[in-house]
Amino acid sequence: MHTVYSEEHRHQDGNVELFEGKVVKPHECPRRAEIVLDRVKAEKLGEVIGLRDFGLDPILAVHDRGLVEFLRDGWDEWVKSGRTFDALPHVWPVPGLLPPGKQRQAPHSIDGKLGYYAIDAGTPIVAGTWRAVYASAQVAVTGQRLVATGERAAFALCRPPGHHAGSDFYGGYCFLNNAAIAAQAFRDAGAKRVAILDVDYHHGNGTQQIFYERSDVLTISLHADPKQEFPYFLGHAGERGFGAGEGYHLNLPLPWGTEWPEYEVAMDEAVKGIIAHGAEVLVVSLGLDTFEQDPISRFKLQHEDYLRMGEKIASCDLPTLFVMEGGYAVDALGVNTVNVLKGFEAG
């Protein structure tokens, strides 16, 4: 299995995030990708290759141009306003701030733009953010091309992650939705039905938003119950799609403390859904923050459970692209990530 990787991810290296009411060093950091890459090489999983640059077209096939231009230009605007520390929002256009029946409008001020596009204060923009997130998207599309041209599977070692980013918003450490960009690229390459399986601890709210009214991309997310956990406002079991997309989205929320036996039941349901959809290709949003020692999560999966997860994914019997998402028990992240990939290859 090829791993696609770019050193450009290092340019996203924030100094602060607001986490549970405290200003802390970001949990999403460059070492995450480095330790996974080291494990891939140590286990001789396969060749590591660099990205190909496919330009903005695959990104704009999923994301609003206004968001993309903001991510590209926002740091320069922040600096022009007289600040060189991490850019974070401090006000948001909640419904009560909008006139009845009016659409929200992007402000001209950089502070207003931050709140307009961001869903949280935990996703800092720094000088190198655009370089990193642009490269992360290209890593995903490079992996997509490998699978689309005949590889059984590929691993896109994306950083920053992407599944919390929607068509016109960012947050949750995510700026561009790498898995969604890859899924759309598969559609544009001719796949009639694509499935996205999100196994990150946190609900893939951005992925849900992007495809919620479509029937060509089935989206399934296993995650902590949004009544208890970030991102809180999406991810409930009753959200099954809308309009043409009704029945083409499946949320499988699980309670704090979930261990493998309960998680396995949800995985089996997800696999059945993917097979029933008749998907031609599978994109896996591979978050490893379900691990028992993850500092910001509350599931109880263990190292060996990720081998089983990979075997379950392999049982879909589909060409598969793995796209790196979360996982913040950094020392264990390489082992857990590679265990999924090894389990898949053995499946």
Share of the chain above pLDDT 90, in %: 96
**What value does the mean pLDDT take over residues 201-223?**
98
Please state at what angle helix 30-42 crosses helix 330-346, rounded to 10 degrees.
Answer: 40
Q: Residue 204: inside a domain, yes or no?
A: yes
**pLDDT in the model for residue 94:** 85
pLDDT tens figures, 118-162: 999 999 999 999 999 999 999 999 999 999 999 999 999 999 999
Evaluate the CA torsion angle 148, 149, 154, 160 in order and state its sign.
negative
**pLDDT in the model for residue 237:** 98
**What value does the mean pLDDT take over residues 160-167?**
98
Q: Residue 114: inside a domain, yes or no?
A: no
Q: Is 317 helix (H, G, I), strand (E, B) or coil?
A: coil
pLDDT tens figures, 46-101: 999 999 999 999 999 999 999 999 999 999 999 999 999 999 999 998 878 877 87
| CA–CA distances in Å: residue 268 to residues 78, 157, 233, 311 | 47, 25, 25, 11
Q: Is 17 helix (H, G, I), strand (E, B) or coil?
A: strand
- Give the CATH number, domain containing residue 280: 3.40.800.20
Cβ-Cβ contacts under 8 Å for 29 (sequence gap 6 or more): 13, 330
Letter for the amino acid at 229? E
- Rounded CA-CA distance 161/143 in Å is 15
Q: Residue 122: inside a domain, yes or no?
A: no
**How many CB atoms neighbour CB 249 within 10 A?**
24
- Judge contact between 307 and 139, C-beta under 8 A: no
**pLDDT in the model for residue 304:** 98
**pLDDT in the model for residue 96:** 83
**pLDDT in the model for residue 99:** 78
Q: Residue 240: inside a domain, yes or no?
A: yes
**pLDDT in the model for residue 323:** 99
What is residue 323's DSSP assignment? E
> Is the pLDDT assigned to residue 180 strictly greater than 90?
yes
Q: Residue 6: inside a domain, yes or no?
A: yes
> Is the pLDDT assigned to residue 213 strictly greater than 80?
yes
Q: Residue 106: inside a domain, yes or no?
A: no
Q: Is 62 helix (H, G, I), strand (E, B) or coil?
A: coil
**pLDDT in the model for residue 296:** 97
What's the whole-model pTM score? 0.98
Q: Residue 72: inside a domain, yes or no?
A: no
Catalytic residue, candidates 2, 63, 163, 164:
164
When computed from its CA atoms, the radius of gyration of the chain, rounded to whole angstroms, is 19
> Is the pLDDT assigned to residue 102 strictly greater than 90?
no
What domain range is 290 assigned to? 2-58+128-346
Q: Residue 116: inside a domain, yes or no?
A: no
Residue 104 confidence class, pLDDT cut points 50, 70, 90: confident
**What value does the mean pLDDT take over residues 96-119?**
89
Strands 153-156 and 2-4: parallel
**pLDDT in the model for residue 100:** 80
**What value does the mean pLDDT take over residues 178-199?**
98
Evaluate the CA torsion angle 306, 311, 312, 314 in order and state its sign.
positive
Mark whether 164 is an active-site residue.
yes
CA 253 to chain centre: 17
Q: Number of structural domains, the chain?
A: 1
- Encoding tokens for residue 38? 């080291």
**pLDDT in the model for residue 254:** 98
The residues with which 301 forms a beta bridge, in sequence order, are 291
Q: What is the mean pLDDT of the chain?
A: 97
| CA–CA distances in Å: residue 86 to residues 91, 122, 175, 234, 310 | 16, 11, 15, 27, 37
**pLDDT in the model for residue 95:** 79
